Amino acid sequence: MIGYVLLLLMVSEASSIIIDEDEYVWCDGNPADIFFLVDSSTSIWIKHFRMQREFLKNIVQLFPIGPTKMRIGLALFSDRYYRVMRFNQYNNTNDLQRAIGRIPHLYGSTHTGTALRKLRTREFPRARKNVTKIAVVLTDGVSFNVKETAKQAELLKKTGVFVFAVGIGKKPKMSELRKIGSEPSKQFVFSVAGFEVLNEIRGALAYKACRVTPEKVLPYCAARRPTDVMFGFESAAMGTYRSAHVRNMIANVTGYFGNMDDGTMQAGLFRGICNEKDIHLNEYKSKDDFVSDLQNATGGTRDILHDMKDTGYAAAYGGRENARKIAVIFIDDSTSDLNRVIEEIVQARSEGIEVFVVAIGDDIDLNDLVDVLDSPPEEHLVTASTHKNLDNIQGSFSDMLCDTIEEEPTPPPAA
């Protein structure tokens, strides 16, 4: 086949690249998990949406698909988020293309920031370890909240995901595409004149995706100093159904912890079970093992914060004298004694423990609680109307907790 020239309309300057498809083996020896995030807002006409589908079917054809090779995920977004496939859902090109051919058009406004947050909190935690992680964002317009989009794109990139941004038509602003895409923009940001010519960048985008190499980037929620995080909730009082939602949120939050394996971070759990062992800080160095144990927890009740403070951070159970100590407490209308919890928060803070509270239910009086939390209290307290709605606050809580975990150590006073 005669080599062909692909015109790249990218940031700063137009450039071209010649690729001979007979000679080039796409992504040979470089497994990756690639997630396509596809704009499906009302501004995209149905005929153009079909062109996007064809582009996706064509580009996945260039990758060697398989459980040990390239895995593809895909979601649509407008003011809704619709996952089409997880990374492990299709293990061959034919099934993948058939699934892409069936994706619907959503309609609605362009909430790019929300969709990027869900990539970070829902999709890439399921990516394989030790492979390149790539997101490809296709959009035909400016996002509903430009600042939120920039923030969520940055948080996604901090997890080690490389982001390609593809703007289609004249509406997308290059300034926003640059904030979505990774650096350098010349490699990660594309702009094409319209849906009709989208396929012209198919080969170039695949080529560049295949050449991405993971850099040494601190993952999301990577502590800069030794940090011990303890979670606690009254499992028996909450009951099986409610506790399952709490455990799921804890599992998802710890899934973002970036450096447990090297011992910088440690996580533990007080289940609130009288006759069942807790998870001590020195028990698991792998967040996957921690999450597995967590998901098998059953119930009971006792004075969570008191025991956590007196035992959880003890040296005998893996606590470290010079580590930052963080406690995350879940309370709801079944919490046995809220006044006692408030007293224990005051005591815990006096002993150098930073306390975060997740309050579940609309009937909890939080006025006294807010008064005893670290300042500012709005950065140490999140609320959910029901246990089921914990899924809706997981992202904001993770951001809140990780902002604290990622803080640089306070330098010692000058001599």
pLDDT digits (tens, 9 = 90+) for 251-265: 878 877 877 878 889
Compute the distance between CA of residue 82 and CA of residue 41 in angstroms, rounded to an integer: 12
Residue 68, pLDDT score: 87
- Whole-Å CA distances, 8 to 66, 204, 206, 211, 254: 29, 7, 12, 16, 40
Compute the distance between CA of residue 60 and CA of residue 94 in angstroms, rounded to an integer: 10
pLDDT above 70 coverage of the chain, percent: 84
Residue 82, pLDDT score: 92
pLDDT tens digits, one per residue of 296-324: 544 333 467 777 877 888 888 888 988 99
195 pLDDT more than 60? yes
Query: What are the residue boundaries of the structural domains of the chain, listed by start?
Result: 4-210, 227-405
Q: What is the mean pLDDT of the chain?
A: 81
Residue 298 is encoded by which pair of tokens? Answer: 């059953």
Return the axis-axis angle of helices 46-60 and 93-101, rounded to nearest 10°: 170
Q: CATH number of 227-405: 3.90.105.10, 3.40.190.10, 3.40.50.300, 3.40.50.410?
A: 3.40.50.410
Q: pLDDT band at 210, cuts 50/70/90?
A: confident
141 pLDDT more than 80? no
Residue 184: cis peptide before it, omega within 30 degrees of 0 = yes
- Which of 105-119, 278-292, 335-349 holds the top average pLDDT? 105-119
Which CATH class name applies to 4-210? Answer: alpha beta
Q: How are beta strands 381-384 and 132-139 bridged, if at all?
A: unpaired
**Beta carbons within 8 Å of 374's beta carbon, 6+ residues apart:** 349, 354, 355, 380
Q: Residue 352's CB: how many other CB atoms inside 10 A?
A: 10
Residue 411, pLDDT score: 52
Domains 4-210 and 227-405 share a fold: yes
CA torsion angle 39 44 45 46 (round to 10): 10
Burial grade of 19 (CB within 10 A; 0-12, 13-18, 19 or more):
middle
345 pLDDT more than 50? yes
CA torsion angle 253 256 262 263 (round to 10): -20
Tell me if 326 sits within 8 A of 300, measured CB to CB. Answer: no
Residue 25, pLDDT score: 40
Compute the distance between CA of residue 70 and CA of residue 25 in angstroms, rounded to an integer: 13
What type of residue is 279?
I
Compute the distance between CA of residue 101 and CA of residue 60 in angstroms, rounded to an integer: 12
> What phi and psi, each to the nearest 5 degrees, are found at residue 65?
-85, 135
pLDDT tens digits, one per residue of 175-192: 999 999 998 888 899 989
Q: pLDDT band at 289, cuts 50/70/90?
A: confident
> What phi and psi, each to the nearest 5 degrees, are found at residue 148?
-65, -40
